[in-house]
Amino acid sequence: MNHHYKELEFPAIPAGRPYVGVNMVMSVDGKITVGGKLTPGSLGSDFDRFTMTVIRSHFDAIICGAETIRQHPYYLGVTKDFEALRTARGQSAQPLTIIVTTSGDLPLDAPLFAQSPQRPLILTSTESYQALRRKLGKRAEVIAVGQDKVEIQPALAVLRRELGIERLLLEGGPSLNYQFLHAKAVDEIFLTLAPRLVGSDADLTMVMGPDVLDSLPRLELISHFQYENELFLRYRVPVEYQS
């Protein structure tokens, strides 16, 4: 298959936090779910799923909101053929999986926990920490940042300082995407435009939160390519929208 994103250039890592990329697939009418969820193939093609792995191969860790994991409790790693490439670049063979949750309501028998090459990391609040250690501690590492919910910037500082994560890939969902953007902690966005129309007003869009984002960040399109009827877009978030 075509490896469009195999070689990627990244700007310098920001001070005090990892460099953050977002990767999402969206229909032409702007939806990222179909009937309330995203099942494999419902929006993106096999090529899009392959491209997800290529993008992941550049990142030290992949982070997701718990609802995304509840719907797709699969390992967020790379296929075997990327391991050697990663090790040659000085990265760990597989990226670390990070899940953000306060409830800890996660399927512990699912492949993500039962068959991961590496224990996932649970990022939670200090109020939930003890309960989640008890609930998930056998299958995952648990760390807490923020009192009643995870605070994005302090959490990113911990990921950089204590875990050495330099590049972090956020794979949704929309509520976590919103919080990262609201915290001015997104550096770039990979977006697959799938040639589909969904139509339902109950389906979700890529970034969903209570307010309009401060100053409506104006993205810079830094690359695009087409594969059959799918478009692969890479946008940079302007520096004035970073902190």
Residue placing its CB nearer to ligand NAP in the complex, 93 or 108: 108
The Cα 12–Cα 9 span in angstroms is 10
The binder of ligand NAP chosen from 61, 144, 145, 150 (CB under 6 A): 150
Task: Determine if 103 is a binding residue for ligand NAP (CB under 6 A).
Answer: yes
Give me 173's structure tokens. Answer: 């969902």
d(CA 21, CA 210): 22
Q: x/- contact string, 167-206, with ligand NAP (CB under 6 A)?
A: ----xxxxxx--x------------------------x--
Residue 21 touches ligand NAP, criterion: CB under 6 A: no
Q: Which of residues 61-90 bind ligand NAP (CB under 6 A)?
A: 64-68, 71
Interface with ligand NAP includes 165 (CB under 6 A)?
A: no
Residue whose structure tokens are 């984002």: 213
Q: Which residue is nearest to ligand NAP (CB)?
A: 173
Shortest Cβ 210–ligand NAP spacing (Å) = 13
Stretch of 8-16, 81-89, 98-106, 132-140 contacting ligand NAP, by CB under 6 A? 98-106
Question: 153 and 11 in contact (C-beta within 8 Å)?
Answer: no
CB 207, min distance to ligand NAP, A:
9
Which of 211-218's residues contact partners 24+ apart within 8 Å by CB, and which partners?
Answer: 211/182, 213/178, 213/181, 213/182, 214/182, 215/240, 215/241, 217/181, 217/241
Residue 174 and residue 27 in contact, taking contact as beta carbons nearer than 8 Å: no
SS3 59: coil
Distance CA 234, CA 230 (A): 13
Min CB(87)–ligand NAP separation in Å: 28
The β-bridge relationship of strands 19-27 and 188-194 is parallel
Q: Which stretch binds ligand NAP (CB under 6 A): 12-20, 99-107, 213-221, 222-230?
A: 99-107
Binding site for ligand NAP (CB under 6 A): 24-25, 32-33, 37-38, 43, 64-68, 71, 100-103, 105, 125, 149-150, 171-176, 179, 204
